[in-house]
Structure 1
């Protein structure tokens, strides 16, 4: 009897200790979750800036290492040079294009609201085109003649849509300022890049072991591929197109340059803008000027075929629809910064998901040891 009573008492004490341990664990988890929630609330306004800064650090780190060695192991000076170079080469043209595009769009919206927008009549040269010339000429002039009545008929939905466009245009200035903050923060992070990389690998190892480290390396490689081969090449082509439009005096060059950048990031190329521009140039400019514009615009269209194999460490396996969804979704969700951030984030998620679901097809850096 004494032994059974003692056993029952021990079981009761063990059960009580087990319950107290579980309650203690729940309390600790609750405290950790509360602090995590507060932390996320505090950093949420700066999350996009921090994420884009981290992406810039990953993309620019090889350049930072080479420049640091070149100037005698001075990481602070190397980071400062990179920040100043990014501000001059990226922010200044981006701000000019964004402001020009916003001004042109607001002017067009004002004309649509006032009903004063007009389109030019079809050139008489179109009538001489074989087979379809007469039909295109008449259809064009009919659309021009009915434009005013069409605007009046759909005035309410046009006002509603244009109101949303104006709100998006107003956020362009904030997007440029976010870019400036991200670039300056990336300069600070570059000086601590080695320690940050070690910390990230240690965290990935704690979470997923060797495979977690492989996933971290795969994410870094994907960021570099997309940022150089997609964003970098798109920015270079856009810069060349903007200079070409400015030199030849192309009208609405800010809006056209912005469209070129969007199409290049979507992997559709600048030809969707440059080809209509070339056709317009041959009908509106002198043959000599139009020929010169064509000779400049055609090589710009083919630049990506040369630069992408050079800038990418491996072929970009991310499908174009993933990048397209990232561009559109990022722009609609986060404005100008999301235009750059969306395709990179979705590409990284796609590559990690593919490496996790089909490990046999993943690169060597992402396979488990």
Structure 2
């Protein structure tokens, strides 16, 4: 027995204080680093999402421009400014400029009274019955319900406009996004290689696969959700402006948020169509109706084609990411929230599918447990 112990040699002594202080020092360094870069985190995350989603476009531009990376980066930066930063900035500025009447409308008690709907009497056969039923509903407590709901709606509108009113913060994040995007475009391969190397050091091949899955999820959200929402809201806003709907810019913002949340643009377009017919403008009402049919069905064709380029994701995940991101990070959270949830979902899903699927018959599992 002693001979076996001597062959194995003396057991190394564990220096527990050294391990504890070393771990504490590493934790302090990590927290300090995050504290220093905290103002740049949102801008870098935004830039990373854009660069990952548009990287194939950069490579095609580089091929067209004689292999010059700096030329393709310059074109991409101009495209980001013209197609992304300027339109969103104009929308937010317009939203703030028109916030006073919106707040007054949302906070006014008279704006939330149920309409009389006297035009129901003009409907043949059933008009008078519909009118009397509607007024019975109003007298039975409909107006009281609207009076109770109105303050909460006013608070929600006030909070939303307050989020958009942080123009200085938004412009700072836009500037950081452009700066980080230029750096990532110019050194994208080296950054990707460094991240994959760190992931391999952290979790071997599984870490490398996790990084690739994360990139696919980001591309899926950016292409399949954000691009579709931008296309639908811009086309819908053009239709509203052409048909003479007042506040078309504000309605475009609402439409963009609805499209991001997977609710579709028809929540804004249908009331506009009803309003045009109500005011007697049947010509433009019919034009907007046809245009709305085109815009409303775009996501059925455009979104699946774009999502296939990245990864298929549950729509409830995108909805939760949009709402949660808006509450957590403000306007930028509309883009970052779905990405965070999508990446986490793909990684957890891949980790779960590494294990075999459970038996389809629960009774058989229970019987095996009883035998044990």
Task: Give TM-score scaled by structure 1 length.
Answer: 0.81
Q: Deviations over 1:72-114 (max 9, x none)?
A: 1211221121111111112222222223333444323235557
**Aligned equivalent of 2:31, options 30, 34, 37:** 37
Partner secondary structure for residue 72 of structure 1: coil
141 and 88 in structure 1: CA distance in 2 versus 1, 3 angstrom threshold: farther
> What is the rounded CA distance, in whole Å, between the counterparts of 1:183 and 1:240 in structure 2?
26
134 and 215 in structure 1: CA distance in 2 versus 1, 3 angstrom threshold: farther
> What is the rounded CA distance, in whole Å, between the counterparts of 1:270 and 1:208 in structure 2?
43
**Aligned equivalent of 1:71, options 65, 69, 72:** 65
355 and 114 in structure 1: CA distance in 2 versus 1, 3 angstrom threshold: closer
Does 1:310 find its partner at 2:310?
no
**Aligned equivalent of 1:260, options 255, 268, 273:** 255
Of residues 126-135 and 74-83 in structure 1, the stretch that sits farther from structure 2 once superposed is 126-135
In structure 2, the residue matched to 1:367 is none
In structure 1, the residue matched to 2:268 is 273
> What is the rounded CA distance, in whole Å, between the counterparts of 2:20 and 2:324 in structure 1?
38
322 and 194 in structure 1: CA distance in 2 versus 1, 3 angstrom threshold: same
Specify every segment of 5 or more residues in structure 2 that has no aligned partner in the other structure, as ranges: 1-5, 358-372
Q: Deviations over 1:320-352 (max 9, x none)?
A: 221111110100111110011111110111111
In structure 2, the residue matched to 1:3 is none
134 and 84 in structure 1: CA distance in 2 versus 1, 3 angstrom threshold: farther
226 and 125 in structure 1: CA distance in 2 versus 1, 3 angstrom threshold: same
> What is the rounded CA distance, in whole Å, between the counterparts of 2:38 and 2:330 in structure 1?
16
320 and 28 in structure 1: CA distance in 2 versus 1, 3 angstrom threshold: same
Specify every segment of 5 or more residues in structure 1 that has no aligned partner in the other structure, as ranges: 1-6, 363-369
Does 1:200 find its partner at 2:195?
yes
Alpha-carbon shift at residue 252 of structure 1 (Å):
2.4
What is the root-mean-square deviation in Å for CA atoms of aligned residues? 3.4
Q: Deviations over 1:111-167 (max 9, x none)?
A: 555767577955654333367644665648997xx9999998889767766654453
Of residues 315-324 and 131-140 in structure 1, the stretch that sits farther from structure 2 once superposed is 131-140
Does 1:100 find its partner at 2:94?
yes
Task: Give TM-score scaled by structure 2 length.
Answer: 0.81
Alpha-carbon shift at residue 59 of structure 1 (Å):
0.6
In structure 2, the residue matched to 1:178 is 173
> What is the rounded CA distance, in whole Å, between the counterparts of 2:203 and 2:89 in structure 1?
42
Residue pair 1:98, 1:254 contacting (<8 A) in 2 also: no
> What is the rounded CA distance, in whole Å, between the counterparts of 1:27 and 1:300 in structure 2?
60
Partner secondary structure for residue 219 of structure 2: helix
Large movers: runs of 4+ above 6 Å:
140-143, 146-159
**Aligned equivalent of 2:18, options 4, 19, 24:** 24
Does 1:61 find its partner at 2:55?
yes
